[in-house]
Amino acid sequence: MPAAAEPTRPCAEDLDLAEVLAALGHPVRLDIVRKLASGERTFCGEVVPDLPRSSVTHHLKTLRESGLISRRPQGRKLYLVLRRDDLERCFPGLLELVLACRSRPLDSECDEQPL
């Protein structure tokens, strides 16, 4: 049986800011990106162990199609890799900015001062 081809992911030159930001806009996908950015070696089956497999598959597909991650086969496992260099080349500082931001609970009040 032939090996499965790498699912579609954009080349570095074709990364789209709106698609990258949309993919990062979901808390689960943002957590996956943070985990990969930490340098922790992670394979597809263990990235988010508490979610149903179908949900994990959907989130990984979204991250891959937006250009944020790629997969690298090693033995019988597919390891996830953050495309840090490509992202930095296309959108300098974006990844570091996103990773530095803390998620704010949805019910928290805004600390902005009135104008």
Residues of the chain with pLDDT under 70: 1-8, 102-115
**40-57: pLDDT as tens digits:** 778 887 888 889 999 999
- pLDDT for 107 equals 45
Q: Are 20 and 14 in contact (CB under 8 A)?
A: no
- Report residue 80 as tokens: 């996830």
pLDDT at 7: 55
**Which tokens in the block code for residue 2?**
């032939």
Sign of CA dihedral 51, 44, 66, 69: positive
Burial classification of residue 35, based on how many CB atoms lie within 10 Å of its CB (0-12 exposed, 13-18 middle, 19 or more buried): middle
The pLDDT score that the predictor gives to residue 104 is: 55
Instruction: Tell which residue, 43, 48, 47, 91, has the closest CA to residue 67.
Output: 91
Q: What is the pLDDT at residue 100? A: 87
